[in-house]
Amino acid sequence: MFQILRRNPTAFWWSLGLHLILALLLLVGVEWLVPPGSPGSEQPVIEARIVASKALEAQVEQLRREAGALQGLDLPKVEAPDQADMERLRREREAAEAVAQAQAQAERAEQESAQQAEAQRQAEAEQARALAEDEARRQADAAEAQRQAEMQAQAERELQRQAEEAQAKAEAQRRVAAEARAEAEARAQAEREAAEAKARAEAESRAEAERKAVDAARAKVEAERKAAEDWRQAEAKARAEAERKAAETAKAKAEADRKVSEAVKAKAEAERRAAEERRQAEAKARAEAEAERKAAAAANAKAEAERRAVEQKRQAEAKARADAEARANAEAERKAAEAAKAKAEAERRAAEERRQAEAEAKRKAVEEARRKAEADRQAAEERRAQEAQRAREAEAVDAMAAENAKREAFRFGALIGDRVEQQWVRPPGSSRGLECTLELRLEPTGDVVEGSVRVVSGSGSAAFDGSAIAAVYKASPLPVPTGQSFDLLRHFRFKFRP
């Protein structure tokens, strides 16, 4: 209440006056002389029917006359009344009851009339109170509308100030974002060039390592072939030389594999970092585009709010000045409002054009970044395909080397069988066609490891099996290859069938 009094004293005094008027109407409309009825004084309910008012009045008048006549009678007291007296008494009683019923009906009709009059008075008082409340509500709404208009004007001024500050801040942020974007693009270009140079160097080093590995494998095969042909002339010397070359080749291959693995890991890390930087750059570009779009939307909203505020202000001022000012002043204000509206519309259109131009520029920048990212991705896929091709070629070379090693091991296995067969002495009494499977371990020099020869599948003749084991030890050292082929014969099993 006190807040309403401080903000709008006129509405407060109007409300107080209306309440006083309502209180006065209530005091005047109450019938103070009618005593309130007590709960026990109500008449008993009598069943009756509604008749015409004139007929009712005539009937009441007749009953009153009959009651008066009955009251004036001086009836004799008899101890044993006859039938006529009984009939007369019955009629008198019925007449008295009819009179009481008529009186009750008359009283009830009077009460209903009084109640209708009271209801009519209350309805008139309620209508007057409603009219007074409507008038007070209209005046309060008018005062509230005036206060809202003042608050709207103040809010518009504050909104304009905030929009100007937001526009200046957005302009500064746009400049900073442009500088950061240019710096990020330059840094990304430098890093991309460095990554490409590094990838080229790694690819060249990997290709050189693979070439050396292939040359080494070829040299190894050639050396093994020559060693197999000349093993009878310089067996010990060839084995030592082959072992040294095999060790060097294995070391070189291990080093090359290690370098290739490191290069692949470095390349994968560089690609991951480049992809992460591209993702961050795209996210930053999207965030900047979103920020600019929001700023443009805020500018549009501001322009629209200014236009609506100007329109509302023009309407309010035109309505307020319609009763107090001349037509010339109203026309001048209308023209000023139209000029302000045209200015706001022009500013809105300019802001919309700027927003569209900025959005188009952002879209082109994002499209260019996406195109560059796609080109980088395709280049990375091509590099991965080339690396996979080189890996497949290296696997093919390794498979070829393994196949050559198997063939070489098989050839030397036949030579070992021939050597053992040359040293075998048939035991007396052994039959022909016997065979057994022997297992043994060999040293790189071809020497049989002592105690390693055992029979896996016997021939059924202990003398034959023993002679086979003795032939193996006697044939030691056995002819063996070098490198991977020897690894296949280190733990050797063959079928002895002389």
The one-digit pLDDT tens for each residue of the chain (498 residues) are 566 667 777 777 888 888 888 888 887 765 555 454 444 444 444 444 544 455 656 665 776 676 565 554 444 444 444 677 777 778 878 887 887 787 788 788 778 877 887 888 888 878 878 887 888 888 888 778 788 878 877 877 887 888 788 778 778 777 877 787 777 777 878 788 877 777 777 767 776 766 776 676 676 757 666 755 667 666 667 566 767 776 776 676 767 677 766 766 777 687 788 778 878 877 787 777 687 778 777 777 787 878 887 788 888 787 877 777 878 777 878 888 888 888 888 888 888 888 898 888 889 989 998 999 899 999 999 889 988 888 888 888 878 878 887 888 888 888 888 989 899 988 888 888 889 999 999 998 889 998 889 999 998 889 999 999 999 999 888 888 888 788 888 888 888 888
How far is it, in rounded angstroms, from Cα 437 to Cα 455? 6
pLDDT score of 441: 92
**Contact of 123 with 283, CB cutoff 8 Å:** no
Give the closest residue to 454 by CA, choosing from 494, 411, 486.
494
Distances (CA, A) of 407 to 247, 411, 439: 21, 6, 20
Taking 3-state DSSP, the helix, strand and coil percentages for the chain, each rounded to the nearest 5, stand at 80, 5, 15
**Contact of 106 with 60, CB cutoff 8 Å:** yes
439 SS3 class? strand
pLDDT score of 469: 92
pLDDT score of 225: 67
pLDDT score of 202: 78
pTM assigned to the model: 0.27
What is the helix (H) or strand (E) element at residue 142, kind and residue range?
A: helix 83-229
Distances (CA, A) of 469 to 199, 423, 455: 59, 11, 8
pLDDT score of 144: 83
493 SS3 class? strand
- Residue 372 has, within 13 A of its CA and on its CB side, a CA count of 17
- The count of other CB atoms within 10 Å of the CB of residue 336 is 13
Q: What is the CA radius of gyration of the chain?
A: 62
pLDDT score of 283: 78
Token pair for residue 115? 């109640």
Separation of CA 128 from chain center:
60
Residues 6+ apart with CB under 8 A from 220: 245, 246, 249, 401, 483
Residue carrying the six token digits 């696997």 = 395
Give the closest residue to 112 by CA, choosing from 27, 183, 48, 29.
48
